[in-house]
Chains A and B, each alone.
Chain A
Amino acid sequence: MNAREAQVIETFNQIQSALRETPHLLRLGRLFSETVLIETGGNEVYLTFEKGQLVSVAEGPSRKTPWRFALRTDAEALEEFWQARPAPGFHDIFGLVKIGRGRIDGDILSLVKNLRFFKEVMALGRKSEELAA
C-alpha cells in the first residue's frame, strides 16, 4: 500500500468520526444498514453501516465480506474528490464514473435510494473552504 492508499484509509477513519458528530446524516441514514466496498486500485476498504452509523472501516481484501454496492476508483481520484473545490468530474461519485475514473457495481438501486446520505457521507472527507483558499 502506497502513501496515497494509506491516506484513503485514514480519510475513511476521519469520516467515521465526523459522521458520529453529524446528526442530520445519522437521521437521513437511519434505514441504511449495508456494507459498501470502496476499491482503489488493488486495495479494498469495506464500510459497514448500521442504521446510519459507520460501525466499521475494514481493510480488505476479503472474500468473506458481502457488500451491497461498490465504488471502484483510484486513490488519486479520491484525493481530488476530497478537495474543497474539486475539478469538474471529480466533484461527485457519478462524475468519477462519467470521466472514466470510477465504476459503480452491485445493487445500484440501493445506492440511489440512499444517494443523498451516501454522497454526503463521502463528502465528509472533503477539505474545508479555508484550506481551499
Chain B
Amino acid sequence: MSIEPITGCYLTITAGGARRRIYVEEAGQGRPVICLHTAGADSRQWRHLMNDTAITASNRLIAFDMPWHGKSLPPEGFETQEYLLTTEAYIETILAVIEGLGLDRPVLAGCSMGGRIALQLAALHPEKFSGFIAIEASDFQSAWYDIDWFHRPDAHGGEMGAALVSANISPFAPETERWNTLWMFMQSGPGVFRGDLSFYTRDDSLVARLPSIDTSRTPVHIIAGAYDLTCTPEDAERTAKAIPGATLAVMDELGHFPMSEHPEGFRPFFIEALDKMPSAAAAAA
C-alpha cells in the first residue's frame, strides 16, 4: 500500500467571460513549474514526474486540466457549442490559473499543444514566467490527418484518436505506459480532441512571433522525440533556429508523449531542461 504525494484541488477562474472550474494537481516544493498536457488528454500525463522525489525536492510541479478535459468540466451550455480551442482562450486560461494560484513567474513546461502555447506565451507574455520548456513543440504544422475523423456520429472518436496517436509513440515505450497514455485519448469527450487539434493544426500565428522571443530574459528549451510523427525533430530544429538563443534536445528513443509514454526515458531530458531554467531565487530577483 502506498499514498502518492500528489494533491488535487478545484480552482474557479473566469475565462471567456464565464466561470471555469479547473482541476489542479501539484506535488513538491520550491520553484513553481506549470505543466501543460497535450491535446485530447489531461494532467495525468505528468503523474510520473510529480511522483519523482528528486525533481519535486526543489520544484513545485503544478498540472491542471484544461476546460473540457479530465476533471475540468466543460462550461455551462456546452451541449450547444462546438468546442474549438483558440490561442486567445488558451492563453487567457493559463494566465487566470497562474493568477488564481498566486504564482510568481513560474517556469512553463508544456507538451504538444502545451508546448506550442508555451512558445506563444514566451512571445506575448514573457514577464509572467521565468522560463519555457517546450516539449514536442514547433512553430506550425498542418495536420497529416483529417481532424474531422475524431468527431462523427458513426464512429468512436476516442478509439479513433487513440489509434491514430499511437503512431506517435516510440516502440521503446513500455507497453503499460503506452496503453495508459492511449487510455486518456480513449476517454476524451466527444469533439474535444478535434477542437484541440483545430488550434494545433490551423493557427499559424506563432510563426511570425518567434524572432521576438527574448531568451536572455526567459530561456526557451525545446525537446523533441525522434518517433514523433506530428512534431518531428526537424520541425523542432526549424523552430529552435527561429528563436535566437533557444536550445534543443532530441530524444532518440521517445515519441510525442514522453513524460507519459516513457517516463524513465524522459526523466534526464526534463532534469536537463529544468537545469537550464532560472532558480527560484533568480526568478524572484
Contacts and interface: CB of A to CB of B under 8 A. Distances in A.
Interface of A: 84-86, 88-89, 91-95, 97-98, 109, 112-113, 115-116, 119
Given A85-B171, A91-B170, A115 B160 contact: yes
Nearest to A132: B171
B78 interface: no
A30 to B, nearest CB: 14
Contacts of B229: 89, 92, 94-95, 98
Contacts of A94: 144-145, 164, 167, 229
Given A84-B171, A94-B167, A95-B167, 9 more contacts: A86-B171, A91-B170, A91-B227, A109-B149, A112-B160, A112-B163, A113-B154, A116-B163, A119-B166
27 contacts: A88-B227, A89-B229, A91-B167, A91-B227, A92-B166, A92-B229, A93-B167, A94-B144, A94-B164, A94-B167, A94-B229, A95-B167, A98-B144, A109-B149, A109-B155, A112-B149, A112-B160, A112-B163, A113-B154, A113-B155, A113-B160, A115-B160, A116-B162, A116-B163, A116-B166, A119-B163, A119-B166
- 3 A-B pairs with the lowest CB-CB distances in the bound complex, closest first: A115-B163, A92-B167, A116-B163
Contacts of B162: 116
Contacts of B160: 112-113, 115
Contacts of A115: 160, 163-164
Interface residues of B, number: 18
A35 B165 CA distance: 24
Interface of B: 144-145, 149, 154-155, 159-160, 162-164, 166-167, 170-172, 226-227, 229
Contacts of A95: 167, 229
Contacts of A112: 149, 155, 160, 163-164
Contacts of B172: 85
A89 B166 CA distance: 12
Contacts of B226: 88
B171 A91 contact: yes
A17 B162 CA distance: 26
The residue in A89, A94, A95, A98 that gathers the most chain B C-beta atoms within 10 A of its C-beta is A94
B167 A116 contact: no
Nearest to B172: A85
A108 B170 CA distance: 24
Contacts of A88: 226-227
Nearest to A117: B163
A10 to B, nearest CB: 22
Contacts of A109: 149, 155
